[in-house]
Amino acid sequence: MIYFDNSATTKAAPEVVDTYAKVSANYWGNPSSLHKFGEQAFNLLEQSRQQIADLLGVKLSEILFTSGGTEGDNWAIKGTAMAKREFGNHLITTEVEHPAVHNSMEQLKQLGFEVTYLPVDENGRVSAEDLRAAIKPSTILVSTMAVNNEIGAVQPLDEIAAVLRDYPRIHWHIDAVQGIGKGLADKIFNDRVDFVTFSGHKFHAPRGIGFMYKRQGRKLDPLMAGGGQERNLRSGTENLPAIAAMAKALRLLLDNEAAKVNRQREIRLAILHHVEKFPNVTIFSKDLPVFAPHILCFAIAGVRGETIVHAFEEHDIYISTTSACSSKKHVESSTLQAMKIDDGIATSAVRISLDEHNTMAEAEEFNRVFDELYTQFAKLN
């Protein structure tokens, strides 16, 4: 089997599964309990938090645990809206965000907030100049992704940071679900960002766990009220086995990160340079520094994306249409629409997404199968 759908989800690492099982068996106390079993659980909780903070070069108090990227995005956006509503009601995001961001913004519009969606260029990237022009005295939040989940475009985070340094009271949230472990930490954890959200199952941790970076001193209202866990910001008994497992997964991910990123980039380029030679192929993730090393999106004219996906599946190769969150709903790529790609081509788009375990041999097998399938599709057309 060749698994090229890592942006949808990754396989939990064996060491991570082992950590999850051991913590479940041995640390079953509630971290909020006063007895020794609770104290042991609390200590492990904070050790996991410290490990994540150290790996990312931030403070322990700046790491908050969530159930994943969707909750983190909702929290950063709606929590800011609630915390800063007395200062303004204007929010800025982009036309290419994940549904967790887009739909949160749409909900807030129904409550009277104003939302500006920044357009993107032919590479799926926003302009820092457009951002500056969109800012108003009532702006309280800017939310941008680090890496686009459909085509892999890396947003100009350095340029966005430069603009927002002139507006220190505006919250800036980065959805970095697709950016962790891809050599982008310096851009993501810049000196201006306020909130960054992550999802564990994107880097070999269990599903249903994630974390948020919240800059110390920034206001954020809780979405979940209850027992006051996570410094009174996110109530609910902590999922300690998954948290400890996620800390392990992050450590494994970031070990020798540069070499892993280079390998993914080389595999991606081997596939890109092969498929781009065919006349009916359109590449959306071009070979430019503005694209992440692990995502490649392309289309074969006249063949629907789901047809391509199932054709590769017959050869035990697993790719996807542009987004796992919309593929079964037959929703076309919002990113390609924002890039003004013709619907006839956009409906043919598929995505390859790699991780550090993929190999060049898998790329060569993919290219061999691609040649075979391309010939079959040409005969059908």
Which residues belong to the active site? 325
Length of the chain as a residue count: 381
Closest by CA to 352, choosing from 290, 301, 284, 277, is 284
Cβ partners under 8 Å of residue 159, min gap 6: 128
- Category of 204 on φ-ψ map: left (φ > 0), alpha (ψ -120 to 50) or beta: left
Token couple for 145: 């992704």
As a whole number of angstroms, the distance between CA 42 and CA 33 comes to: 9
Q: Nearest to residue 263, comparing CAs of 171, 359, 135, 121? A: 359
Assign 22 to helix, strand or coil: helix
For the chain, helix (H) and strand (E) counts, in that order, are 15, 12
- If we measure between CA atoms, which residue out of 339, 330, 275 comes closest to residue 306? 330
**What distance in Å separates the CA atoms of residue 247 and residue 241, rounded to the nearest whole number?**
10
